Amino acid sequence: MKALIKVAEGPGLEYTDVPDPRPGPNDVVVRVLRTGICGTDLHIDAWDDWAAKTITAPLVVGHEFVGEVVETGAAVTAAKPGDLVSGEGHLVCGTCRNCKAGRRHLCANTRGLGVHRDGAFAEYAMLPEQNVWVHRNPVDLDVAAIFDPFGNAVHTALSFPVIGEDVLITGAGPIGLMAAAVARHAGARHVAITDVSPHRLELAKQVGVDLALDVGTASIADAPGMLGMSEGFDVGMEMSGQPSALRAMIDGMAHGGRIALLGLPATQFPVDFSSIVLKMLHIKGIYGREMFETWYSMSVLLEAGLDLSPVITHRYRSADYAQAFATARQGNCGKIILDWTED
């Protein structure tokens, strides 16, 4: 089969032939239809410090996908050939305290599909049955391919109640855009999002935000007045990993406000803890998705009419991966899809 592989240490990927996967008793083999490009894939391609410390080559990369089940192991009961499925990219141990308590998203031994074991940028992908999400209702294939990052957005956006609340999102990348769409759909009063990219701020308007703020020319401190608010924001969602964004968000929160942190900083940085204490803020770290409550919420939101189409801006054949990766690095894009059925 064709696959996109990190063949050896160093920059670059290869689109080449590898053996088809052979399932164990608890595994599911999927014919991949579409995949989404993630920032993690860009790190692996570039071979930055994180990739050099984390990745063991050779490795089939990629973890965002949708496909059709073609083969199952002897012990598999929840998926069958012909099912349309997406995959949970976090592989948990099943034996630690949190796993045994049903809190699998808190597993300290989590491994990553396309990071620690072969992933989904291939004509066929294999993963454990417990990581398969079967789509029981019709779903657009491009949207189904990005259920993994969509889950990050839903997990973040619904970590705190947003009905009637004023919401601030820092970072209008694809996950920030999806979180904005979810917050709007879930009943937030005002949704403001910040970035420095005019292209991404324009996409934010398409998903229905009330304020798309260019923080290169304005300040978060200006946002409440621009929205007619008398106090700060009730709920914050930090998606950028930028120190300045979190500091500005803390300053812009109302007393008793709640902040969900998904953006991953590259280095440590100071924040004003006195402001956090005096404002009595709640701050929660978000990593991945709650398995599988978040997945249920994603499906229900789509059934209820949530529209993610503005977030998906580019589509390429899998063989044109180099152009797709270049587009992703350029930044003037939303989510990028690779089609594995056209070659």
Instruction: Note the helical H segments in the chain.
Output: 39-46, 49-54, 97-100, 141-145, 147-157, 174-185, 198-206, 223-226, 243-252, 273-278, 293-303, 321-330
Question: Are the C-beta atoms of residues 223 and 244 closer than 8 Å to each other?
Answer: no
Q: Is 15 annotated as a binding residue?
A: no
Task: Please tell me which residue in 35, 40, 110, 194 is annotated as part of the active site.
Answer: 40
Task: Please tell me which residue in 43, 135, 282, 314 is annotated as part of the active site.
Answer: 43
* DSSP conformational letter for 341: S
Give CA–CA dist 325/66, Å, rounded. 19
Give CA–CA dist 260/239, Å, rounded. 9
* DSSP conformational letter for 237: E
The yes-or-no answer on residue 116 being catalytic is no
Q: Is 314 annotated as a binding residue?
A: no
Distances (CA, A) of 109 to 64, 93, 185, 293: 20, 6, 34, 20
Considering only CA atoms, which of 335, 338, 159 is closest in space to residue 236?
159
3-state SS assignment for residue 265: coil
Give CA–CA dist 105/216, Å, rounded. 36
Q: Is 63 annotated as a binding residue?
A: yes
The yes-or-no answer on residue 90 being catalytic is no
Q: Is 333 annotated as a binding residue?
A: no
Q: Is 193 annotated as a binding residue?
A: no
Give CA–CA dist 62/119, Å, rounded. 5
Q: Is 255 annotated as a binding residue?
A: no
Q: Is 264 annotated as a binding residue?
A: yes
Q: Is 169 annotated as a binding residue?
A: no
Q: Is 96 annotated as a binding residue?
A: yes
Active site residues: 40, 43
Binding annotation: 38, 63-64, 93, 96, 99, 107, 175, 195, 200, 262-264, 286-287
Binding annotation for Zn(2+): 38, 63-64, 93, 96, 99, 107
Binding annotation for NAD(+): 175, 195, 200, 262-264, 286-287
